[in-house]
Structure 1
Amino acid sequence: MTTAMPSIEFFVGISEELSNVSLRRSKETGIRNVLLIFDTLKSLEKFKSFTQQTYGDLRLIDCEGEISVKPSSLKIIWGGDEGDELRQVRCGFEIEQDDHWDRFMRFMNRYAEANGMGYQDTNK
């Protein structure tokens, strides 16, 4: 295993900076929903998205390897006087299997530690 810094990529080689994350679990189905929130996207800012290879998936990379996630929702929010300033990107996906959830949480803990983020349970 390598000691690579945890990273999140929409496009190969362009690491994005996560602003926030929301984790929920359906009481009816037990399916876990993840919402990753980005205030900026380097791939859009640099216009590299047109020249870099993309998998169509979100890639979460850490020392254990790579997690490839197919987003179930992707919302880009624009604002500013001209309406052309990126305000936020919201990327959602579901995790059904417990072992996949455990792996995702190990990634998130590494990502949070490497980027000075903390966990707060809003149900308390």
Structure 2
Amino acid sequence: MSDITPSIEFFVGISEELSNVSLRRGKQTGIRNVLMSFENLKSLERFRSYTTQTYGDLRLIDSEGEISVTPSSLKIIWGGDEGDELKEVRCGFEIGNDDHWERFMRFMERYAEANGMAYQSSK
């Protein structure tokens, strides 16, 4: 399984291209929040079947296997002259377990390396 290219899927078999990811930790709860942003969604272009909710889990796939997360938020932002052009999709979820966080970060490192992205701290 080591030759698998990391991918992100809303629908099985349709890989999406992440444009940005924001990682935060709640000061009082310690729960980590992830906000993934996508400028385009192949699944949306292909199906045009959902507007403001997901129909299942977000799948993050890499050489270690598959991570399945249930988004706590999904926001689709439309623009253009007639309001029908996709501007951005923001998908958020929480990670409370340290082991799950470490696994997610290993996925993000692999995804970033495979897609020419870099980590930048806000501090």
Please state which band the TM-score falls in when normalised by the shorter chain: over 0.9
One-letter identity of the residue aligned with 1:112: A
Unpaired runs of 5+ residues, structure 1, are none
How far 1:48 moved relative to its partner?
A: 7.4
How far apart, in 2, do the equivalents of 1:64 and 1:47 lie?
29
Q: 3-state SS of the aligned residue for 1:44?
A: helix
**1:119 aligned onto 2:119:** yes
Task: Check whether the contact 1:11–1:49 (CA below 8 A) recurs between aligned residues.
Answer: no
Are 1:87 and 2:87 matched, yes or no?
Answer: yes
Q: Which residue of 2 aligns with 1:66?
A: 66
Letter in 1 for 2:21: V
> Equivalents in 2 of 1:65, 1:14: separation in Å?
16
Give the alignment's TM-score, normalised by structure 1.
0.92
Give the alignment's TM-score, normalised by structure 2. 0.93
The question of 1:21 aligning with 2:15 is answered no
Task: Provide, for residues 2-56 of structure 1, a one-character-per-residue CA deviation record: whole Å limited to 9, x for no partner.
Answer: 4210000000100000000000001111100000000000011122769xxx960
The residue type equivalent to 1:73 in the other structure is S
Unaligned runs of 5+ in 2: none
Q: Percent identity between the aligned chains?
A: 79
In structure 2, what is the equivalent of residue 78 of structure 1?
78
Task: Please tell me the residue identity of whatever aligns with 2:99.
Answer: D
CA distance in 2, matches of 1:61, 1:48: 23
| Equivalent residue letter for 1:70 | T
Distance 1:2 1:55 in 2: 29
Equivalent residues, number: 120
Partners of 2:55 and 2:12 in 1: CA distance: 8
Distance in structure 2 (CA, Å) of the matches to 1:36 and 1:82: 26
Residue 84 of structure 1 and its aligned partner are, at CA, apart by 0.2
Q: How does 1:41-56 map to 2 (within 5 A)?
A: 41-47=41-47, 56=56
Inter-CA distance 88–48: structure 2 relative to 1 (3 Å threshold): closer
Say what the alpha-carbon RMSD is for the aligned residues.
1.6
